[in-house]
Amino acid sequence: MSETRLNRRFTLAARPQGTPTARHFHFETQPVPEPGDGQVLLRTRYLSLDPYMRGMMDEAGPGYAPAVRLGQTMVGGTVSVVEASRNPRFSVGQLVLSNSGWQDYALSDGADLTPLGEMAQPSLALGGLGMPGFTAYVGLLDIGEPKPGETVVVAAATGAVGSVVGQLAKLKGARVVGIAGGADKCRHAVEVLGFDACLDHREPDLKSRLAAACPDGIDVYFENVGGEVLDAVLPLLNQHARIPVCGFIAHYNQPRGGEASVDKRTQLLGVILARRVRMQGFIILDHYATRFADFRRDMAQWIDEGRIVLIEDIVDGLEQAPDAFIGLLQGRNFGKLVVRVSD
C-alpha cells in the first residue's frame, strides 16, 4: 500500500495591522491533489517573494488584484515542474512559470502557465528575466525615458527591481545615484552594479547628502520606496522630471491618512505643478501583451554580454518563507529574494 504524498502550504491566518509576524501565516499539510481532465499537477521548485504580497494580505487588497482570503494559500509566482499531466499542451518534466503560491504542489488548467524551456538558472525567471526585471524595464525605459547625461535616482538600489533600474539607466548613458540600506549594499551598487554613487539611508541627513550627490538635480526618480527618500528627492527634481511609480514599500506596514500625510501630499502636488513633473503609476500586469517579448529578448542579450548583473538571495526550504518575507519588508534581503522549495 503506497504512502499518501502530502502537500505543505502556508495560508493567510490573520490580517496584519502593521508589520506581519509569524502568527499571520498558518502552516498545514494535505494530500497532494490528482489532476483532472485538462489539468496538470505542478511541483514547486522556486517561489518568488515580493513586496506586493503585503498589500494582498489586507482586506481591501492592493486595488489591482483581489486580496488573499483568510485560509487561502498565500499567492506567489513560482517556477514549477510538471509532475503529472492530463493536458496535451504540457508534458511530464516540463519546466513552467506558474502562480502556485506558497506550497509544494498545485493544479493548473494550463491557462496561467508559461513554458520556460531549457534554463541554466531557472530561478532567474522570477527575477531579472521575470516580473521584477520587467518592472524595471517598462518603468524606466517607457515612463522614465532617461537620456544621456541625465541623473537617475533609485532607492532599494540592490533589490530585485532597483538593481536592474540602475544598470539600465547606465546603459542609456545616464548618471545613476542609488539609495540602499547599509554600507555593504552601497559598495555593491557602485563596485559591482556600476552605479556612480550610492547613499546609505540609515546614515543621518539623507537630504543634504543626496543634494551633494546630485549637483545638477534629478531628472528621473524611480519610485518604489516612498518615505524619507521621496522627501529628500522632491526639492531636487528638475523641470520636466519623470517619476515612474511601481510601489512604496516604506508605507506598506503603516496606517494611511492623518495630518502628516496631508502635508506631504500638498508638498508633492506643489512640486509636480511648479516643475511640470510627470508622475505615472503603472501595474506591470498591463504590459505583458505588448512589451514582454521585447524585454525577454533585450534582457537575455544584455545578460549574455555581461552588461547586466543579476544577484539572487536564495533561501532554502518552504518553511522559511514567512521569515524571509518579513525580512524582505525590513530590507534584509540582498538581491532578488527566492525560496528554493525543491531540487
pLDDT tens digit sequence for 3-27: 679 999 999 999 998 889 999 999 9
Q: Write the CATH number of the domain with boundaries 6-126+311-340.
A: 3.90.180.10
- Burial code (b: 16+ CB inside 10 Å, e: under 16) for 245-257 equals bbbbbbebeeeee
Q: Is 131 exposed, middle or buried (0-12, 13-18, 19+ CB in 10 A)?
A: buried
Percent share of the chain, pLDDT over 90: 76
User: 181-185, 282-286, 325-329: which has the minimum mean pLDDT?
Assistant: 282-286
Cβ atoms of 129 and 296 within 8 Å: the answer is yes
User: 133-142, 186-195, 279-288: which has the minimum mean pLDDT?
Assistant: 279-288
Name the 3-class secondary structure at 269: helix
Cβ atoms of 182 and 159 within 8 Å: the answer is no
Tell me the pLDDT of the chain averaged across its residues: 91
> pLDDT by residue (tens digit) across 39-61?
999 999 999 999 889 989 999 88
Cβ atoms of 104 and 55 within 8 Å: the answer is no
Residue of higher predicted confidence among 185 and 261? 185
Give the residue extent of every domain in the chain: 6-126+311-340, 131-284
**pLDDT at position 326:** 96
Q: Beta 40-48 vs 78-85: how paired, if at all?
A: antiparallel
Radius of gyration of the CA atoms of the chain, in A: 21
**pLDDT at position 253:** 52
Confidence at 262, pLDDT banded by 50, 70, 90: very low
CATH architecture of 131-284: 3-Layer(aba) Sandwich (3.40)
Count of residues in the chain: 343
Name the 3-class secondary structure at 282: coil
DSSP 27-54: EEEEEPPPP-TT-EEEEEEEEE--THHH
CA 255/CA 268 separation, integer angstroms: 19
Residue 74: phi, psi to the nearest 5?
-60, 135
CA 53/CA 303 separation, integer angstroms: 27
- Residue owning grid cell 498591463: 286
Measuring CA to CA, which residue among 139, 166, 149, 153 is closest to residue 232?
A: 153
**pLDDT at position 55:** 87
Percent share of the chain, pLDDT over 70: 93
Cβ atoms of 103 and 73 within 8 Å: the answer is yes
**pLDDT at position 343:** 81
> pLDDT by residue (tens digit) across 97-139?
999 999 999 999 999 999 998 888 999 999 999 999 999 999 9
Q: Whole-angstrom distance between the N-terminal and C-terminal Cα of the chain?
A: 26
Q: Where are the alpha helices (DSSP H) in the chain?
A: 52-56, 131-137, 162-171, 183-191, 206-213, 227-233, 259-274, 288-304, 321-329
**pLDDT at position 2:** 53
Cβ atoms of 158 and 328 within 8 Å: the answer is no
